[in-house]
Amino acid sequence: MTNYTNFKVETDADGIALITWDMPGRSMNVIDEKVMQELAAIVDQVAADTNIKGAVVTSAKEAFSAGADLTMLETLGANAMKIGKEKGPQAATEAIFEWSQRLNGIYRKLETSGKPWVAALNGLAMGGGFELALACHYRVASDNPKLRVGLPEVKVGLFPGAGGTQRVARMIPPQDALQFLLKGDHLKADKAKALKLIDAVVPAADLIKAAKEWIKAGGKAVKPWDEKGFKLPGGAVYSKGGMMTFPPANAIYRRETYDNYPAAKAILQCVFEGIQVPMDLGLKIEARYFTKIISSPQAANMIRSLFVSLQELNKGARRPENIPPKKIAKVGIIGAGLMGAGIAYSSAAGGLDVVLIDRDQASADKGKAYTDKIVSGQIAKGRASEAQKAALLGKITATPDYDALKGCDLVIEAVFEDRKVKQEAYAKAGAVLPDNLIFGSNTSTLPITSLAKDYKKPENFIGIHFFSPVDKMMLVEIIMGEKTSDEALAVALDYVRAIKKTPIVVNDSRGFYTSRVVGTYIGEGHRMLADGIPAAMIENVGKMAGMPVGPLALNDEVAIDLSLKILKATEADGGANAVDADEKLLLTDMVEKRGRFGRKNGKGFYDYPEKGPKKLWPGISELQKKTLSADELDALGPDFVEEQKHRLLVIQALETARCFEEKVLTDVREGDIGSILGFGYAPWSGGTLSYIDLMGTKKFVALCEKLAEKYGPRFAPSKLLLEMAKTDDRFYRRFAPVKQKQAAA
């Protein structure tokens, strides 16, 4: 037996080496520098030892591997930047290229070692971990229902760079390979086997035995593409099959990404170019593209926001250190409408007992039925069982009796956005709850400080803002009122962690952070209408910029009547100059004259037929004082389209910067994560603050001033941005979290 730090190697009487991956101090195996060093040594050991006839690689943990440690890749990018400053860009590129070939070289040596290798997948196998399995000559998976395999790197701005693009495209037809690589899906064992990415699925108890039996039965130690006469599944690039795959794939890529994601484009290029040449050259092509992508600012921002920052926030980066953890076992929810019902489902799904309160039994039961509906849908898709549904429903007690809240560890109010309704709920709850219990409000717009005045202990009152639909949206915005205590914050964060969602912590203001910023996106769509831009163009420009939907479609989802209500409340507090007159006229016409409230009543900027997809309402043009004709738009040219994209992205980034200046936001990570998870701000940018850093504050301020001159003072750069622009400073440099500052020092 040979022991390494991360692996254990045992050779049995049949000469089969069992390599067990088990990283100390980690819940999951990942690929880091030490793992690569040890894996390279093990491959050499297996190849050189004549007593070893073959090898099986497996994991001692519940999962096989989560893939590469992305913090290692983030460090690689930072080091390359340092080399670039010291020795020039070519030296930086060469350093990354050399590094990117290391893991590729280890896997290639494994598959050409002359010894058969089997991957025995006992659980989750992702990214570089699954690429290790693909390099093996045979893959056997356990029937573990939690097992998933996939190459999800594209979701963080990268692509599989350890041979994944080349092996997958040689194992399955190109259309299937591209779909698998570009979507980054996680496949169950049976689906992976059907695609021929896994060779066998066996009971968990037989996993190692089945792997060894394949070797003993004469398992082949040569990959098909290393044999003479190998033919690609699905045909060559320049064949009938190839011509039916690559041109449509390119069109779909552009339709889905608008060319905002360099990694997705690189996947297409790697597959297209790589399968036309021998494997070793294909791997070199992949390494070159990987070097280019990992050097891109988009990849750096996406890795930082969607992996590093996300993990830090999920692990409690903003939790007060002096407050001991609180186990949340039972939560009370007041209000069984759409939001309250969604919070009840998410809480029960997180393993908590739930008391769901509403004005009468029928209303409370209706809220509980929402969980029944969701899980019934999962059962229909084979994702849940009747027993699981019964257990989940058993966790929810639906009642109009406030006394049932006794014994809860946290209570959340999710009633209608009306102060009087909320005050009544607070009074009823306060009468039965102990003074030290933490009380949260799911309000999306009403200031927490003012709401807290109506609760018996304002220091125990905190905002816990969920997003709709609650079961699908992963973000929760925690809002601190002026008197909110650290204990309230700690309990709210413990609860969010218990239900496996991502928290951001913000300070109180009208609209807080997310509602305030997304309101600028929707509002700019309204102003574009007033400028005469056709509705279809507004929506397409939004998607071209990287937003999931256009501003008009988003307004329909939020509800147009709610937008009007917020606008009127803003006007009441700040006067007529606090709102845009054209926007007020548009919303008043839509809601009060035409009864178009949005998706909820099937009539908004879009029409929502009972059957078929939504369509833009033909009457929108009637609301416009002027409409730019096709000839006028054509004369304006492509620069006009770019300008409109900038309007939609800049207005949101600018408002985020204002939130930071006003200390509504205090952590750059939360600004970016909140913008992506909360309202889908262009993920390719890394988030609203990363968007500014990507451009540079000097260029961003210049763009703001240009837009302000043409479209109005709402685009005027803030005092903080003007100050930062003097030295072209960056948010992640000036306001880096403490840990990142220490690392940079």
User: Is 50 exceeded by the pLDDT of residue 407?
Assistant: yes
CATH no. of 330-499: 3.40.50.720
Residues of the chain with CATH 1.10.1040.50: 515-734
Name the least confident of 203-217, 335-349, 574-588: 574-588
* Amino acid, single-letter form, for residue 283: L
pLDDT at 87 over 90: no
Single-letter code of the amino acid located at 9 = V
**Which residues does 330 contact at the CB level (< 8 Å), separation at least 6?**
352, 353, 354, 355, 407, 408, 409
Q: Is 701 in contact with 722 (CB distance < 8 Å)?
A: yes
- Which DSSP symbol is given to 234? T
**Averaged confidence pLDDT in the chain:** 92
Other CB atoms within 10 A of residue 74 CB: 17
Q: Work out the end-to-end distance of the chain between its first and last CA atoms, rounded to an integer number of angstroms.
A: 43
Taking the C-alpha atoms of residue 40 and residue 102, their distance in angstroms, rounded to an integer, is 9
Q: In whole angstroms, what is the distance from residue 341 CA to residue 226 CA?
A: 57
Which residues belong to CATH 3.90.226.10 in the chain? 2-295
Please tell me the distance from the alpha carbon of residue 374 to that of residue 469, in angstroms, as a whole number: 11
- pLDDT beyond 50 at 567: yes
pLDDT digits (tens, 9 = 90+) for 299-338: 889 988 998 899 999 999 999 988 999 999 999 999 999 8
Asked if the model's pLDDT at residue 133 lies above 60, the reply is yes
CATH T-level assignment (fold) for domain 515-734: N-(1-d-carboxylethyl)-l-norvaline Dehydrogenase; domain 2 (1.10.1040)
Question: CA-CA distance, 558 to 572, in Å (whole number)?
Answer: 21
What percent of the chain has a predicted confidence (pLDDT) above 70? 98
Question: What is the average per-residue pLDDT within 383-411?
Answer: 94
Q: Does the structure show a pLDDT above 50 at 743?
A: no
Q: What tens digit of pLDDT does each residue of 30-57 get?
A: 999 999 999 999 999 999 999 999 999 9
CATH 3.40.50.720 placement within the chain:
330-499
Residue in 55, 171, 149, 178 with CA at minimum distance from that of residue 109 = 55
673-695 pLDDT per residue, tens? 999 999 999 999 999 999 999 99
Q: In this structure, what DSSP letter does residue 546 have?
A: T
Report whether pLDDT(236) > 90: no
Catalytic residue set: 465
Look at residue 744 in the predicted model and tell me its pLDDT.
37
For 16, what's the count of Cα atoms within 13 Å in the CB-facing half-sphere? Answer: 21
Is 603's pLDDT higher than 50? yes
pLDDT for the residue 82: 74
Q: Give the residue-averaged pLDDT of 101-108.
A: 92
Strand order in the sheet with 461-466: 396-399, 353-357, 330-334, 410-413, 439-441, 461-466, 475-480, 502-507
pLDDT at 742: 36
**pLDDT score of 483 more than 90:** yes
Least confident interval from 82-91, 215-224, 679-688:
82-91
Is residue 403 predicted with pLDDT exceeding 50? yes
State which fold the 2-295 domain adopts: 2-enoyl-CoA Hydratase; Chain A, domain 1 (3.90.226)
> In angstroms, what CA-CA distances link 554 with 514, 599, 619, 670?
14, 10, 18, 22
| Percent of the chain whose pLDDT exceeds 90 | 74
Residue 30 to residue 73: CA distance in whole angstroms: 12
Closest by CA position to 303, among listed 700, 667, 685, 588: 685
pLDDT band per the 50, 70, 90 thresholds, residue 216: very high
Joined together, the tokens standing for residue 717 give 């750069």
Length of the chain: 745
What mean pLDDT is predicted for residues 362-390? 93
Q: Could you write out the DSSP letters of every residue in 691-703?
A: HHHHH-HHHHHHH
**Distance in angstroms (rounded) separating the CA atoms of residues 341 and 336:** 5
Return the higher-pLDDT residue of 138 and 631: 138
Pairing of strands 138-142, 54-59: unpaired
pLDDT digits (tens, 9 = 90+) for 455-479: 989 999 999 999 988 999 999 999 9
| Of residues 510, 511, 513, the one with CA closest to residue 676 | 513
C-alpha to C-alpha distance for 381 and 378, rounded to whole angstroms:
5
Residue 725: what pLDDT? 97
Calculate Rg over the CA atoms of the chain. Answer: 28
Kindly tell me the sign of the dihedral angle through the C-alpha atoms of 304, 308, 313, 314: positive
579 or 341: whose pLDDT is higher? 341
pLDDT tier at 745, thresholds 50, 70, 90: very low
Q: Where are the beta strands (DSSP E) in 103-199?
A: 117-121, 125-126, 138-142, 149-150, 186-187
**Residue 35 to residue 129: CA distance in whole angstroms:** 11
Please give the Cα distance from 581 to 589 (Å, whole number): 12
Q: List the single range of 170-174, 533-537, 567-571, 618-622 with lowest mean pLDDT.
A: 567-571
| Residues 141-170 pLDDT 10s | 999 988 999 999 998 888 898 999 999 999
**pLDDT tens-digit series, residues 273-305:** 999 999 999 999 999 999 888 888 888 899 889
Stretch 372-388: mean pLDDT: 91
621: tokens are 């043009």
pLDDT at 738: 62
| pLDDT of the residue at 1 | 63
pLDDT at position 262 over 80: yes
Residue 70, pLDDT > 80, answer: no
